[in-house]
Amino acid sequence: VPSFNYRSLQWDLALLEIDPINFTTTIRSIKIATAKPPTGETVTLAGWGFLNRSKPAHALHKIELQVIDDCDYYPFSTGRFCARHPNSENELKDACIGDSGSPLMIKQKENDQWSLTGVMTAGYTSVVEDCEKLGGYSLYADLSHPPIKSWLSKAVGEDIFHNGDEKEDGKHRE
C-alpha cells in the first residue's frame, strides 16, 4: 500500500505478480472478504511460522482464533483488527515468528466457502520462547477497509472480491 508506515506497521501489505495458475478441485483461489469479521467470530490463520523460537515449521500449520474488539497494545489500529486464541487463559496459543504475511480466513456460514479477511502484521505475546504456550493476540490488516480495498481493486481489479476460479454458473473449474 503506498502509505506504508514502518514505525506503526500501518498498511503492511504487498502484492506479488505470478504466472497464471491452473485451478483444479484441490487448487482454488480465495475471494477477499467485503466486510471486517465481527467481534467474537472464529477465523483461521495458516502459516509457516516457527513453532517455538528454535523450531521452524516443516509443514503448513493452522490455528483457530477469535476476533477481539480491544486491541490496546496497538494504538494505531485504523484498518486493522486483532484476534487471539479463544481459550487463551487455559490453552495459550498464538501466531509466531515467521507468520507475518500469513492469511487470516473466515468460513462463510451461508455458503460454506472461505474468504480472505486479513493478513497477519504483528503479534503481541507475553513470552517469546514458545509460541505454542503464548498468551497474547495478533494484529491483522483488514482487507475490507476502504483504502485497502480500493488499493487492491486498482492493482488487481474487482474480480479479487469474487473467486477467480469459478465458472459463470458458480461451479469451480476443473
Question: What are the CA-CA distances from residue 123 to residues 95, 96, 101, 128, 154 (Å)?
Answer: 7, 7, 12, 10, 29
Least Cα distance to 43 among 131, 130, 102, 128 occurs for 102
The DSSP call for residue 133 is: G
| Domain around 120 | 38-155
Per-residue pLDDT of 38-61, as tens digits, reads 999 999 999 888 776 677 788 888
131 lies in some domain: yes
166 lies in some domain: no
170 lies in some domain: no
Three-state DSSP at 67 gives strand
**CA dist., res. 111 & res. 122, Å (int):** 30
134 lies in some domain: yes
Whether the CB-CB separation of 116 and 30 falls below 8 Å is answered with yes
29 lies in some domain: no
Per-residue pLDDT of 55-100, as tens digits, reads 778 888 888 999 988 776 666 667 888 888 877 555 556 777 778 8
116 lies in some domain: yes
Chain centroid offset of residue 32 CA: 10
CATH assignment of the domain containing 65: 2.40.10.10
pTM of the predicted model as reported, rounded to 2 decimal places = 0.81
9 lies in some domain: no
Whether the CB-CB separation of 94 and 137 falls below 8 Å is answered with yes
51 lies in some domain: yes
Per-residue pLDDT of 149-171, as tens digits, reads 888 888 887 777 765 444 444 44
77: burial class by Cβ within 10 Å (0-12, 13-18, 19+)? middle
Structural domain count, the chain? 1
